[in-house]
Amino acid sequence: MRYFFTLILFLAASLWWLSDAQILNAESLRKATDTSGFSGSASLDFALKRNTRNFTTFSSDIHVQYKMEKHLVLLKSDLAFQKIEGSDVENSSILHLRYNYKLSDRFTWEAFSQLQNNKINLIDLRALAGTGVRYKLTTSEKYRFYIGTLAMYEHEKLDDGVTPIQKNLRNSSYVSFSLYPNENVSIISTTYYQPILENFSDYRISNQSSLRVGMFKNVSLKVSYTFTYDTFPAVGIPSSQYDFSTGLSYSFD
């Protein structure tokens, strides 16, 4: 465990650029394993995207998890470089830490914290911290369905020159499924709904889905699709956006 927390401190100190998604799909981080110890994955992606402008993205991400009996710790860091309309280069970042404690076969308590910035969406800083419960609807190992609800505090600073710093309490509820038709294929999809508790007309919705197909030992082809909707984005940013990407992923146990 000493080495794991050393890794967390190192990444927190050195990374301030990460993934382009506005809402992180935490379900995609959970590596299915029945054994204790470290596991995780690393990937390199290439993407063509469009929101206010056309741009291409090269990105890498690393996630590590440590499992011990009823405890699970997840750490994810992403780094993305974006070339906009053939010339300008932008970047974005997410650092996400999550802890799970298994209360029973179906109930899990979880807590998380996250730091994020995204120049494309004019997010100078979004800091989150939350806690709640998730419930496992099925017991099959080949298909898993979950629901969860958390309360989270959000501190957000937008770089649009208009919006003041936001400090809000939000709910984060989700429905998720993971399908494992065989040992080489996995499909994970999660839909989030995140309203401000004092103003339910201010909300975000996100659907994030991914397909992984094993190519050879520890290496998979990864295809991902993300759709997000924000009722009050930064000024000049569209409410709805999508992201389609493909790349290779390396997993380790």
The type of residue at 37 is G
29 DSSP 8-state letter: G
What pLDDT sits at residue 6?
A: 43
What is the pLDDT at residue 193? Answer: 97
Q: What is the CATH number of the domain that holds 241?
A: 2.40.160.40
Give the total residue count for the chain: 253
Count the alpha carbons within 13 Å of 89 in the hemisphere toward its beta carbon. 5
Read off the pTM.
0.76
| Domain boundaries, position 111 | 2-252
Other CB atoms within 10 Å distance of the CB of residue 112 = 20
pLDDT tens-place string over residues 28-62:
555 555 557 888 877 777 777 676 777 777 777 78
Per-residue pLDDT tens over the stretch 16-28: 333 344 555 555 5
> How far is it, in rounded angstroms, from Cα 234 to Cα 117?
13
The pLDDT assigned to 2 comes to: 46
Structure tokens at 154: 């959000």
How many domains does the chain fold into?
A: 1
Q: pLDDT tens-digit profile of 175-201?
A: 999 999 998 999 999 999 999 999 999
Helical (H) or strand (E) element with 2: helix 2-14
The predicted-structure confidence for 112-161, as pLDDT tens digits, reads as follows: 999 998 888 899 999 999 999 999 999 888 899 999 999 999 999 999 99
Can you give the pLDDT at residue 172? 95
Mean pLDDT of 67-77: 90
CB 247 within 8 A of CB 222: yes
- Residues 89 and 83: beta-carbon distance below 8 Å: yes
Residue with tokens 């499924």, as numbered in its chain:
177
Please give the pLDDT value at position 1: 47
Angstrom distances, CA of residue 110 to CA of 106, 113, 135, 150, 206: 13, 11, 11, 8, 20
Place of tokens 């280069």: 89
For residue 58, the model assigns a pLDDT of: 75
Tens of pLDDT, residue by residue over 82-93, are 777 766 566 788
pLDDT given for residue 82 in this prediction: 72
Which has more confidence, 108 or 85?
108
pLDDT at 247: 82
